[in-house]
Amino acid sequence: IQKKRISYEEKKEKIYHPIGKKLIEIALKKKTNLIFSADLIYSKKILELVNLIGDKICGLKLHVDIISDFSFSFINFLKKISLKKKFLLFEDRKFCDVGTTNYLQLHHGIHKISSWADVITVHVLAGSKSIENLNIPSNIGLITISEMSSYGRLSDDNYIRKALNISLKNSKVIGTVAQRKVDNRLLLFTPGIHFSDSIKNYKGNSYIHPNQAFIKKNCDFIIVGKAIYQSDNPKIVAENYRKAGWIAYENSF
Ligand code: 5FU
């Protein structure tokens, strides 16, 4: 396994999926590796924040099933902003069932995730077959969850190794969530990011500074939620995370 730090440009050559390549292109163009996790329950609030910080992010991550007033007009607005400000839409649904159920949850129900998401997250607990045959269009990429950021996560080294292997073998997978260095053919996404040391362990999730994510773990993209949406000035704070993430990336070689 190749774990030596490589640049976004080099990584772009190793990632064959068009969405993986596109995410890297956006990152390089906008100089941002920041993905904003908008864990808010009203669509208006999400749209307000995205209008405010859309220039600073390469991705917007949603949990669409927490949005109380979900509608397709909300999705249409988001899609428009994402095209204008150039960022991708991530749905953090963490599909974790047998393949046929994953398929139904992805394409049907109220949210029709496959009709609008650019990237979706999946667990591989049910095995490699559970994420095959999902009939995903070529413009949707998968992120596997190999190792969560939470305290007391159940994944051990053996599970993580197998999850990473499944990720490498599936051509729809663009990357993974893990708390360690991974093969350079995968993009590494790191949630659990916060500047403040005082929330290292908050409600069962663990947090690290962007410097640690890039320098110790060779992360490619940081995912930041409450540090931004709970702040008094999301625009300034998002810019601070963008800058910190970018500088940490540059300093990680
Ligand atoms: F896969 C993972 C993980 O391992 N940890 C996470 O925290 C996903 N997450 C998500 O990232 C979680 O569901 C939240 O949506 C987001 C982190 O938000 P925070 O407010 O920055 O803690």
Instruction: Write down the H helix ranges in 39-156.
Output: 43-53, 72-85, 99-107
Residues with CB under 6 A from ligand 1: 37, 39, 63, 92, 145, 148-149, 177, 191-192, 205, 223-227
In tens, the pLDDT along 79-108 reads 999 999 999 999 999 999 999 999 999 999
Percent of residues in the chain assigned helix, strand, coil, to nearest 5:
45, 20, 40
Distance 59 CA to ligand 1 centre (A): 14
Our mutation pick for probing the ligand 1 site, out of 63, 66, 124, 149, counting the most ligand atoms within 8 A of Cβ, is 149
pLDDT of residue 202: 85
Whether 38 and 229 have beta carbons less than 8 Å apart is answered as yes
Arithmetic mean of pLDDT, 179-199: 95
Q: How high does pLDDT run on average in the chain?
A: 97
Band the pLDDT of 3: cuts 50, 70, 90. Answer: confident
In tens, the pLDDT along 40-62 reads 999 999 999 999 999 999 999 99
Alpha-carbon 35 to chain mean position = 6
Q: What is the ipTM of this complex?
A: 0.99
Whether 221 and 26 have beta carbons less than 8 Å apart is answered as no
Provide the β-strand partners of residue 205: 150, 202
In tens, the pLDDT along 24-38 reads 999 999 999 999 999
Whether 54 and 243 have beta carbons less than 8 Å apart is answered as no
Arithmetic mean of pLDDT, 227-251: 98
**What distance in Å separates the CA atoms of residue 178 and residue 53, rounded to the nearest whole number?**
26
Does the predicted TM-score (pTM) go above 0.95?
yes
